[in-house]
A and B are shown apart, each in its own frame.
Chain A
Amino acid sequence: MTVMEATGLRKLYRRGNTSVIALNGLDLSLGAGACVALVGPSGCGKSTLLHLCGGMDRPTAGEVRVEGRPLSQLRDDELTRVRRERIGFVFQSFHLLPTLTVSENIGLPLLLSGETPRSTKARVEDWAERVGVTNRLDHLPSELSGGEAQRVAIARALVHDPVLVLADEPTGSLDRENGSKILDLLKAINRQSGVALLLATHDAAAAAAADQVVEMCDGRILGERVQDDTPLPSDGSVT
């Protein structure tokens, strides 16, 4: 079953008198349980593609469908609801809310849906255990290490059982060891829960963990490859 489908996506940014083409007619489709890595040089359009797929931004042309619903036709409140209930986000800089505790950060999508802290407690604790931050639930983000913060961000992205998780450079701010652990965690969750994972990365190891690698350049897809157990080059480069 197709979870997310992007067709003919174009995105143009206007900055003063100049225009920058971030995406130039791009098609991409993700099925349930897929794990796809977007690779390419900086500025090739990876983050823009994630933003459009997550309904954070609207395309200049083309369409993104999540579970068959065309995002361009949704009102702002409907789009917000799709993000809140069907999509999860993980970012390089974690972007936890610094004023909320770990448990509040994890449960935030559920609380925004109108649930009470009492009703979310079990799921929050369950996800905290799955990502290994049970002993940090009452801490503030400023008291966490980078790896721990990213685990909390992953728990927040998954606590509401989304069908799609978008991860933008999830290991970019972590050392090799923590990066590796985060990748293992994402992969394990992808396998266990069947959530589709779309990953934008420069990290060869991260790309290697995906089932499919999509190589981008200048807003287009240069090529795709389905990965089996073939290892990537040892220098870590993808393109």
Chain B
Amino acid sequence: MILFRAFIIRNLRRQPLRSLATVLSLAVGVGVVVAIQLANVSSVRGFSSALDTIAGRTSLEISTPGVGLDEERLAQLPWLQEFGSVSPVIDVDVLISPKDNGRLNQTPRKLELIRLLGVDILRDRMLRDYFVQSDHTEQVVTTQRVLQLLTDPDSVLLTKTFIERHGLAIGEVVLLVVGDRTTRLQVNGILSDEGVARALGGNVALMDIAAAQLALGTLGRIDRVDLVLRNGVDLDVAEGMISQRLPSGLEVRRPSTRGEEVEQMLSAFHFNLSALSGIALIVGLFLVYNTGSVSVITRRSEIGMLRTIGATRRVILGMFLGEAAFYGVIGCALGSPLGWLLAHGAVGLTSFTVNQFWIASAAEVPPLDPTMIALAFVVGLPLVLIAAAGPALEAAGLVPLAAIRGDEVLIRRRGVPRRFILVPAVLFAFGGFLAFQGPVSGLPVFGVLAALSVILGTAFLMPAILFGFQYLWGMVNRRWFRIESRLAHANLESAIPRVAISVAALSVSIAMMVAIAIMVGSFRETVDYWVSQTLQGDLFVSGPRQGPISGRSTISSESESIIAQHPEVVAIDGLMGIDVPFAGSLVVVAGGRFAVMSKYGSLQFKSPADGTGVLETAIGSESVVVSESFSLKYGIDVGSVVELPTPKGSVDFQVVGVYFDYSSDRGTLVMDAATFGRVFPELRPAALTIYLRPDADVESVRDEIRTALGSDRSLFINTNSALRENALSVFDSTFSITRALEIIAIAVSMFGVATTLLMLVLERRREIAMLRLVGADRFHLKRMIMIEAGALGLVTQFVGLIVGFVLSLILIYVVNVQSFGWTIQFHLPIGFLFQATIFIVIMTSLAGLYPAKLAGRFQLNDDHLPNG
């Protein structure tokens, strides 16, 4: 311990810059992992916690999943009272405008997503707690008074948080927007921030169930029947018995099942984010290895002396592992709160994607609990020790006399040890093998491991790459370059074992950036092509809520008939959808007008080639076309039969086609609208595609339809080009998180290169002093260091481009297909890669600025001058 304190801790204090750099890099690496875990947890937790809060004391719920049920069916369920108290519920996300402020279709930003609960308050109080105030006096009123407050069909109760946030008062009017329907509601009471009002950050509205049906335009329909079991009734037993007695088309489920389905639905997205966040940690670990190596190399003579006077190999090993553990503990301790801070940014970036494609969720970063702190240590510390094991073993293996003499230090080597060729060869081969393995539970585990093998192989190959680069540089040097370049070349050659790790870390970061750029670029090109081929309509009509087509945001038949009356309109297709549980996850079951689609549309089919013919034969029949992601995820192809839960019980559908769909990875089944209306309750379309006469002026028709619809209908009409732009901008936003992670990884590794160069300069102080003695001026030295930095930038970018290309193939053809079920056409974003190359070389040269400045500043004083 004394030895550890004297040899390691004091040395850390003597090298504050290096210690700080290592700890910070590690903290950022661990922090990014923690941040992504927190962001992942928060997106599901936001949903689950809202689910739990709104479920209240509900034990079981009865419905046709995704569809709800007809009120009349309640007459078939009086026996449910034998098990406990029941309450029919409307539970739906709607948009609300806190102020009645004019044209809705001009002010989409003033609309806020809110959960509308429609209940029979007398029945529902057995399941949920409501604390209602009729004014701002904090006085909670009786249930009877609540009943009075809700009697008026225009009455709504809002939470105290929501009311205060928007400066509302009792008696004021808010607008409820569902699809193209707008209802004015009066705020008649305040829900105290307890019970259900705590869900979704206070974005909860309470109405009487009949009033809610009226506002939603779904008279006679409810979402589900909630049941709280009587004391002493066993949940499993009750669930089994109820399941047996329920009429066809209804199912009994626990409220938590919906959370589990959402978790399953998001698992691939979360898995990929976690894998990506690991890159930042790997870069941090490279730097730990680097610091350990430099620590050993610069203190060889001290280690030799310790060994000479009796320190065993085990003691030396323990000291250097202890040093790494010391860094690890501080890095992990700092990484946890840093991750929590970073998570706030990550949630902002991921929740957009989650809300856009999967669920409406008020994601909030959970507090930093001991589990997350433990995660930081459990993930970080063992990896730190593994990273430090190499240098520590090297220190323990030093021959005392050679170490004291300083043999093998700063010596130009004339070859690459064979292990630096063999190990990478094995890792690359192993990576190739893994890339051809299938998914594990729908997750691309082997794909990620294949990418990891390539990354590790690259790291091991780096000394050989640097030797090769040095050889080429040496040949060029002899012919054209001046002394600074020759000195830089010689310096780097001697420092290969030391710089290899930093260069590997930066190369891996660049490779990931390149791989993601190629993947995103390819994906974007594919989506762009797909959008241009698929979107054949002239105008597109939708409600104000962006996101999945499923839900209540529907367009009324009145609106559709107004549109249909326009003389330039030749056909209208409508797309409606619902969320249906399938194989433990949620898929979208949609209805479309196949007759219109086959005549005017242009759905891109994967199989069979003749998609139009398929649509024509499927009109009115119990046949579906499925998206590629559905086909790949569930192993279902043309000819398969899928069984779907419907209000009439399970119904089998024949799969007649597989089409390309990049709008969602959830998996979509589309049937003809007539079939949809027959099997599921009548549901209006959530979006309309309008086909105009070929010579129609699209902009004018849009304006005329908008005028005809009037300002009260909250409908948005986009032209074809506007919708394409919108689709691509949504696409770009979904990848902002990947870019943020990459920037962090590159910044950390850039930091690594700067500190490595700095260490090399400090280590070469005597040599630099010698150069000054024999006549090198500051500019010679500055140029020398800058050339070293630039050369490192060049070689890292070169390696990054090649490895990035290989990784992009794994991402596109393995990870993406296994995670999301999308076929992406390979596309090389040459312009971006060229810009990135210039940027990286400039940035690494800049990373050499401070070390260069420092080298130029060395004064020839007694400390640096040769003695003797």
Chain B positions within 8 Å of A168 at CB level: 866, 868
Contact B774 A104 (CB under 8 A): no
> Out of A85, A142, A169, which one reaches B411, CB within 8 Å?
A142
What is the 8 Å Cβ interface bit string for chain A, positions 106-137, against chain B (1 contact, 0 not)?
Answer: 00110111101100000000000000000000
Contact A169 B868 (CB under 8 A): yes
Nearest opposing residue in chain A for B477, CB measure: A117
Q: With contacts A89-B773, A98-B411, A99-B493 known, is A111 near B868, CB below 8 A?
A: no
- Judge if A92 is at the interface, Cβ distance under 8 Å: yes
What is the 8 Å Cβ interface bit string for chain A, positions 80-101, against chain B (1 contact, 0 not)?
Answer: 1101110001011101011110
Most buried by B among A56, A116, A169, A173: A56
- Judge if A51 is at the interface, Cβ distance under 8 Å: yes
Binding site of A, secondary structure by majority: helix, strand, loop or mixed? mixed
- Judge if A140 is at the interface, Cβ distance under 8 Å: yes
In Å, the complex CA distance between A113 and B772 comes to 12
CB B523 to nearest CB in A, in angstroms, measures 47
Chain B positions within 8 Å of A112 at CB level: 483, 771, 774-776, 780
Which residues 27-84 in A have Cβ within 8 Å of B in the complex? 47, 51, 54, 56-57, 76-77, 80-81, 83-84
Chain A positions within 8 Å of B486 at CB level: 100, 104, 111
- Judge if B651 is at the interface, Cβ distance under 8 Å: no
Nearest opposing residue in chain A for B861, CB measure: A57
CB A111 to nearest CB in B, in angstroms, measures 4
Chain A positions within 8 Å of B103 at CB level: none
> Out of B775, B778, B860, which one reaches A85, CB within 8 Å?
B775
Chain B positions within 8 Å of A91 at CB level: 866, 868
- Judge if B682 is at the interface, Cβ distance under 8 Å: no
Chain A positions within 8 Å of B861 at CB level: 57
Contact A92 B778 (CB under 8 A): no
Q: With contacts A57-B862, A92-B868, A117-B478 known, is A100 near B774, CB below 8 A?
A: no
Most buried by B among A54, A76, A81, A100: A100
Nearest opposing residue in chain A for B489, CB measure: A99
Chain B positions within 8 Å of A147 at CB level: none
Chain B positions within 8 Å of A81 at CB level: 775, 777
- Judge if A10 is at the interface, Cβ distance under 8 Å: no
Chain B positions within 8 Å of A56 at CB level: 773, 860, 865
Chain A positions within 8 Å of B490 at CB level: 97, 99-100, 104
Most buried by A among B410, B483, B766, B770: B483
Nearest opposing residue in chain A for B488, CB measure: A99
Chain A positions within 8 Å of B491 at CB level: 99
Nearest opposing residue in chain B for A108, CB measure: B774
CB B415 to nearest CB in A, in angstroms, measures 13
Contact A140 B772 (CB under 8 A): no
In Å, the complex CA distance between A232 and B708 comes to 120
Q: With contacts A56-B860, A95-B770, A100-B487 known, is A111 near B482, CB below 8 A?
A: yes
What is the 8 Å Cβ interface bit string for chain A, positions 200-221, against chain B (1 contact, 0 not)?
Answer: 0000000000000000000000
Nearest opposing residue in chain B for A84, CB measure: B775
Nearest opposing residue in chain B for A15, CB measure: B862
Contact A97 B773 (CB under 8 A): no
Chain B positions within 8 Å of A89 at CB level: 773-774
Contact B410 A83 (CB under 8 A): no
What is the 8 Å Cβ interface bit string for chain B, positions 475-518, against chain A (1 contact, 0 not)?
Answer: 00010001100110011011000000000000000000000000
Which residues 642-693 in B have Cβ within 8 Å of A in the complex? none
Contact B776 A99 (CB under 8 A): no
Contact B767 A97 (CB under 8 A): yes
In Å, the complex CA distance between A108 and B772 comes to 11
- Judge if A146 is at the interface, Cβ distance under 8 Å: no
In Å, the complex CA distance between A54 and B773 comes to 9
In Å, the complex CA distance between A116 and B478 comes to 10
- Judge if A25 is at the interface, Cβ distance under 8 Å: no
> Out of A76, A83, A111, which one reaches B483, CB within 8 Å?
A111
In Å, the complex CA distance between A108 and B776 comes to 9
CB A218 to nearest CB in B, in angstroms, measures 18
In Å, the complex CA distance between A142 and B778 comes to 27
CB B8 to nearest CB in A, in angstroms, measures 26
Contact A57 B868 (CB under 8 A): no
CB A127 to nearest CB in B, in angstroms, measures 14
Contact A95 B775 (CB under 8 A): no
CB B407 to nearest CB in A, in angstroms, measures 8
- Judge if B110 is at the interface, Cβ distance under 8 Å: no
Contact B410 A98 (CB under 8 A): yes
- Judge if A156 is at the interface, Cβ distance under 8 Å: yes
CB B744 to nearest CB in A, in angstroms, measures 35
Which residues 769-800 in B have Cβ within 8 Å of A in the complex? 770-778, 780
Q: With contacts A113-B775, A114-B482 known, is A47 near B411, CB below 8 A?
A: no
Chain A positions within 8 Å of B868 at CB level: 47, 91-93, 168-169, 172-173
CB B475 to nearest CB in A, in angstroms, measures 13
> Out of A77, A109, A117, A142, which one reaches B774, CB within 8 Å?
A109
Contact B770 A77 (CB under 8 A): no
> Out of A80, A100, A104, which one reaches B772, CB within 8 Å?
A80
In Å, the complex CA distance between A100 and B862 comes to 25
In Å, the complex CA distance between A112 and B784 comes to 12
CB B95 to nearest CB in A, in angstroms, measures 69
Chain A positions within 8 Å of B494 at CB level: 98-99
> Out of B478, B773, B778, B866, which one reaches A83, CB within 8 Å?
B773
CB B429 to nearest CB in A, in angstroms, measures 35
Chain B positions within 8 Å of A13 at CB level: 862
Chain A positions within 8 Å of B866 at CB level: 91-93, 95, 168
In Å, the complex CA distance between A169 and B867 comes to 9
Using CB atoms and an 8 Å cutoff, list the residues of chain A in contact with chain B. Answer: 13, 47, 51, 54, 56-57, 76-77, 80-81, 83-85, 89, 91-93, 95, 97-100, 104, 108-109, 111-114, 116-117, 140, 142, 156, 168-169, 172-173
- 14 residue pairs bridging A and B, Cβ less than 8 Å apart: A51-B865, A56-B860, A57-B865, A77-B777, A80-B777, A89-B774, A93-B866, A99-B410, A99-B767, A100-B486, A112-B780, A116-B482, A117-B478, A140-B411
Using CB atoms and an 8 Å cutoff, list the residues of chain B in contact with chain A. Answer: 410-412, 478, 482-483, 486-487, 490-491, 493-494, 766-767, 770-778, 780, 860-862, 865-868
Contacts beyond the supplied A57-B860, A117-B478: 5 A-B pairs with Cβ under 8 Å: A51-B862, A97-B771, A99-B410, A112-B771, A140-B412
Ranked nearest first, the 9 interchain pairs of A and B with the lowest CB-CB distance are A84-B775, A92-B868, A99-B490, A111-B483, A80-B777, A99-B494, A91-B866, A112-B775, A56-B860
